[in-house]
Structure 1
C-alpha cells in the first residue's frame, strides 16, 4: 500500500513540475519521473483491467491532448494530471487493500534501495538528456556523448549495487529466466515503436493535411482502435486457449509490415491509405501488449509476479521515453540539411522553415507559396520516413526476440522452473 501511495504522490509532483518546465531537458527529466511512479502501481492480478484502461487512455489521450493544447497550451497537458491524480488518490487510499510490510517506519525507510534508485534514475535521465542534446549539438558533441556515457556507467553501477543488496530494487535472479529478460527487451522495443506512433503520426497529419493538433489527434483513430481491439482481444483469447507466443509473432509481423508501409508514405499520400498502414501498426502493438506480460509471469512463482509485471511495464515506459528522445534526434538530423537548403532557396519563409525544424509543424500552413510549402513538406515527410524505417527494423528485432520466448503452461506451475528458482534463491547473496 505504501509503495502505491508513494508512487501516486510522485506522479502528482512530477506532473506539476513537468507543466512548469522551461526547457525540453526539464520536461524529459520530470516526465521520466512520472513514468517511474506509474510503473510501481502495476499488479499482475489486475492486468486485464489495467490493459483495458490503458487502451482506452490511448484512444482518448491524443484527442483530449489536442483539445487542451488548442485551448490552453501544451503545459496544461501536464498540469491536468495533478487534479486527476489527487481525485484518484482518495479511492486508492480507502479501497485498495494490500498487506502492510512488517516493521516500523524507520526500519522500512532503511530497507529502501537508495543506491539502486539513484543509479537507475540517474542513468535514465542522463541518457535522455544526451539524446535530447543531440538535436541541438549533434551526435559527436561533448554535450551529447558525455551524459550518455555517464548514464551507461551508472547503469553498470546499478547492476553491481543490485547484486550486493539484500532487498534490491531489481532482484537479478529474475533476469536468469529467459521469459523475463526476453520479454523485457520485447516490451522496450514495443514501447519505442508505440511512442513513436503517438508522437509522430499526428505530426504527419498536420504536415500532409494542415490539421490542427485537435483534428490530428482525432485522425489517429485507426491506430488507436487497432491497439485497443488487439490488446483486449488477445487477452481474451489467451485466457481461453492458454497460448500466447503466436500473438507475439502475429503482432511483430503486423508491426514490420505496417512500419515499412509507413516508410513508403509520400507528401501526396491519401488519408485512407495511411489509415490502413497505421491500423496495421496499431494492431501489431496491441497483439504484443498483453502476451509479453503473461509470458514473463509464467516463468516465475506467485510472489514474484507483481514485480515481474512491473518490470515489463517499466521496460515499455523506458523504451517509450528513450524512443521519443532518440527519434527526435534522428528526425531533426535528417531534416536539418534540407531545412538549411530550403531556407536559402526560399528566404522569405526561412523563419517558418526554422519553426518546422523545431517541431512546430503547424508553421507549414504559414508558407503561402505553394511550391515552397510542397518542398518543405516533402523534406519533412522524408525525415519521418526514416523514423518508420527504424521502427520497422526494430520490429524485426522484436520478432527475433519473441522466437526465443518459451511456452510455459499457464495452468500448471512448471516443475523445472520451480526447481530452478529454488537453486537461484540458494545461490543469491544474502
Structure 2
C-alpha cells in the first residue's frame, strides 16, 4: 500500500503588536489503496499481552473471556503477519511461540497459538513493566513495518514501583505502538493511560468481559491496516523561536512535547506512530517567536511530515503577521478555539472525578459542571452522555449540575478513560 499525505494548516496568522505566541492546528491526512496483487500489512508485527495474574480468576468468566479475545485476535491475523502471545503476572513468559521471537501467521501457527492460549492459568501478581520488556525483546529484529502490541489487564501494577515502570516506558517508547484495555473495574485509569501514551496508543475500559473478543478483533484489524510506521512531525523554527508545545488534538489528546528529538539546527521531530490509508489526525502546536514591527511577516514554523527513511511526505507553513487592526488580531481561529476547548474539557473531567473521589463535593461539582458546559458548547454528545451518568444535568448551557449520590464504578471509569477522545471540527469554519 503506497500512502500519500496532505498537510494543512489552520490558524489566525494576525497578531497584535508585541504578541509572541503563534497557535495553529495542523491536519495530516493519509490516503492510499492497496494494490490488488499486494500482500497488505504482511510486514506488520503483532504481540498480544494477556494478564494472567491471580485476580483474573475472579469471576472465572474473566480469564475465559480473555482467552476467547486472544483467540479472536489471532484469527484476525492475515497470513504472513508476524506475531506472538505473551502472558504476564509478576513475571512475563512466552505463550506462543516458546522462545521470545515472532512467527509468521498461517493456518498452522494460528491453530498452535490458540491451543497454547487455551492452557493459560491465572496466578501470581502484576508487573506490567516486565510484560512490556518481553514484548520489546520479541519485537527485536523486526526492522520493517509497523509493530503493535495489545495489553490487557484487570488490575493494578502492584509488584513493581512506579519509578521502574517509568524507566521501562522510557526504554520502549518509540520501539512499538500499543493499545491498552482494562477489563472490569479494579485497574487504574491513570496507570494504563501512562502506558498507552508512551506507546502512542489508546486506553479504554471493557467493563463486561463478553465485549473483549470483538474489541481485540477490531484492534488487530486496525493495526494490520497500518501501512507506514515511524512517521514524524518535523518542526523548523526561526532563530530565537521556541516550540511551547506539540499535541495531538484528534482523534484523541496526546501530548508529544517532551518526545522531541533534535534532527537539525532549530529543527525537532515529534513521533506520530504508524499510519493507514484514509486516516486523518489533527495536531495543535504553539510557537513563541520574537515579536516584529506592525506590518512585518514571519515564517513562524515550517511543518513537515517525515517518513522512516527521512523522506518528506508533506509540508505546511505556520505564519505570523503583526497588525494594528484589532478586527484581524482578535479573531479566534475556529479550529484552535475548538481544540483548546476539548483539552479543557478533558482536564475538567479528570479534575472533577479526582475531587469526587477525595470527597471535595464543591470542587467536583464545579469542574464536572464546567465539563458539561464545554461538551454542550462543542457538540461532543458522546462525552455529554457519559457525564450524565455521573452528574444530574440541570442546565447544560450554564453547566449547572448536581453530583449523583451513587455512580457505578464502570460509568466513572468509562468517563475517565474516554475523556481524551475528542470531537473533530469542520475545517475552515
Q: TM-score range by the shorter chain?
A: under 0.3
Structure (1/2) with the larger strand percentage: 2
Which is bigger in relative contact order (C-alpha 8 A, separation at least 6)?
1
Structure (1/2) with the larger helix percentage: 1
Superposition TM-score, scaled by structure 1 size = 0.23
